Amino acid sequence: MSTPVRGKRISIPQIRGRKGGDPLVCLTAYTTPMARQLDPHVDLLLVGDSLGMVLYGFGSTLPVTLEMMIAHGAAVVRGSERACVIVDMPFGSYEESPLQAFRSAARIMSETGASGVKLEGGAEMAETVRFLTQRGIPVCGHVGLMPQAVNLAGGFRATGRSEEEARRVMQDAQAVAEAGAFAVVVEGTLEPVAAAITAAVPVPTIGIGASPACDGQILVAEDVFGLFSDFKPRFVKRYAELGAQIAAAAAAYAEDVRARRFPAPEHCFLPKPAPRAGG
């Protein structure tokens, strides 16, 4: 598989340099068409393992494979020119050892053309983050609510509610930043705790269900655009209701087909008129 040719993308040092500056605009993308639409407007596109739930209908991110992440990561790189593209490392692809993580991350980098990887975990993953960054692989950390640890946590719930939880999330963010992460996603964390983390770590924080004080924000694009009409997390702001528009368009199409209004003559390949005799 060949690595896509890159244009002039926002670089990892540029992302890191936005600490305390203009907020980083980040969204998820899983496909080439979506990447093309989002690319002019964002600084970072995350190919999240949330694609397991958003695209494949899984109940969690746990069934997502490395091969799935590579396929979708390459699609997003092909569909973008400007944004920095980061690919999630899926469950089971990095936790065993730093060496396993390096092999998985090297595949992601070489087979997608992405600028870096993201992995979940705090202090316990600091050694792995250091191992990867020392070998040329940029790493974005992820602390707070960690979807890959949903079974251990007992479900999707905000963290930082107790002093112990707040202290642990802070220590996790500091550990991965000190290990070399260029940014840290802070998910599902009480606002004052996320704000304190942002003030404490030297790299950008990217919030999702966290704090406006974070150095950037990220959401799942399908949530933002209203493609899930039956569920909206508390931390999501809908900027469109495309799900309802798609349903209405599908209903109109079905009605036209059943009434034989579609296809109309202008949608058909018709024979050319025979030339007139003597013409």
118 is in an annotated binding site: yes
Give the pLDDT band (50/70/90) at residue 156. low
Asked if the structure places residue 201 within a domain, the reply is yes
The answer to whether residue 257 is domain-embedded is: no
In a domain, 101, yes or no: yes
Of these residues, 124, 187, 191, 222, which one is catalytic? 187
Which residues form the domain of 237?
12-241
Mean pLDDT of 82-108: 98
Sign of CA dihedral 35, 248, 241, 144: negative
Instruction: Tell me the average pLDDT across 129-141.
Output: 98
272 is in an annotated binding site: no
Nearest to 115 by CA among 26, 223, 22, 175: 26
49 is in an annotated binding site: yes
Helix (H), strand (E) at residue 196: helix 191-200
Cis peptide before 263 (omega within 30 of 0): yes
* Mean pLDDT along residues 231-241: 87
- Which pLDDT band, with edges at 50, 70 and 90, does 236 fall under? very high
Q: Is 120 annotated as a binding residue?
A: yes
> Quick check: is 278 in a domain?
no
Q: Which residue has the higher pLDDT, 151 or 29?
A: 29
In this model, does residue 231 exceed pLDDT 90?
no
Claim: this prediction has a pTM higher than 0.95: no
Cβ 156 vs Cβ 145: under 8 Å = yes
Q: What is the pLDDT of residue 3?
A: 44
What's the start-to-end Cα distance of the chain, in Å? 57
In a domain, 169, yes or no: yes
What is the Cα 100 distance to its own chain's centre?
A: 22
Give the model's pLDDT for residue 276. Answer: 80
Q: Is residue 212 part of a domain?
A: yes
Q: Is 187 annotated as catalytic?
A: yes
State the total domains in the chain: 1
* pLDDT of 5 strictly over 50: no
Helix (H) or strand (E) holding 144: strand 139-144
157 in any annotated domain? yes
CATH code of 169's domain: 3.20.20.60
Long-range contacts from 234-243, C-beta under 8 angstroms, 24+ separation: 234/209, 235/188, 235/208, 235/209, 235/210
265 belongs to a structural domain: no
State the average pLDDT over residues 15-38: 98
50 is in an annotated binding site: yes
Q: What is the mean pLDDT of the chain?
A: 93
